Structure 1
């Protein structure tokens, strides 16, 4: 690996860690919000309010699950960063473009391999 590639990889690792920390903070806030919403929802007496609260709780649960999934993906990407495999396509072994990794640092496939995987879903 060249010095430029090492620097790009290091910057990518820093970006990934920063996004992980931001997402972890958002996840903790979201968990707290969901707990408060459930607690406050138990005090409702009106059936219409209960229906609205149930929808709000479901929406909060979906957001919490999405943030958790992002954290898991980022944890896996951080492990790949530590073992030196971040940026290597799991399917073909080629390099994942730096631009793709800047947008989705947890990406595990290059664009052609991801397109092929999406096509077979």
Structure 2
């Protein structure tokens, strides 16, 4: 089955993917800048041991969020690649169309809901 099924507006999904990619990349950039700022303030020697502990905690939290956002960027880029290849919206397991409602919520989805349940069960 092709990705262009009746009622599936791939142009709208493409716009959604590109917007989410840009938003996520912006968040990653802002978090990196915040982390650099916190580390720069620490390197400048300001604060005491409590400040150093707070800085370490904030930096660790920002690193976890940044990692999650970077993983999201990878999923979004893969979805954009599938869009360009004409395979976005095609289930990677059964080959059927992934419902538009699923793609609107998770435009990076690679499986329809029944197949995703099977894939998740065997992970």
TM-score calculated relative to the size of structure 2: 0.88
Q: Which runs of 5+ in 2 are unaligned?
A: none
Q: C-alpha distance in 2, partners of 1:119/1:49?
A: 45
Aligned to 1:9: 10
> Which structure would you say has the larger RCO, counting Cα contacts within 8 Å and 6 or more residues apart?
2
Q: C-alpha distance in 1, partners of 2:6/2:58?
A: 50
TM-score calculated relative to the size of structure 1: 0.89
Question: Quick check: 1:56 aligned with 2:58?
Answer: yes
Residues 18-63 of structure 1 deviation map (CA, whole Å, 9 limit, x = unaligned): 1111111111111111111122223245222211211110000011
Aligned to 1:65: 67
Aligned to 2:20: 19
Number of aligned positions between the proteins:
119
For residues 26-65 of structure 1, the aligned pairs below 5 Å read 26-42=27-43, 43-65=45-67
**Aligned 8 A contact 1:44 1:50 in 2:** no
- RMSD of the alignment, in Å? 1.6
Q: Which has the higher helix share?
A: 1
Which 4+ residue blocks in structure 1 deviate beyond 6 angstroms?
A: none
Structure 1 residue 64 displacement after superposition: 0.8
Q: C-alpha distance in 1, partners of 2:28/2:52?
A: 25
Q: Which runs of 5+ in 1 are unaligned?
A: none
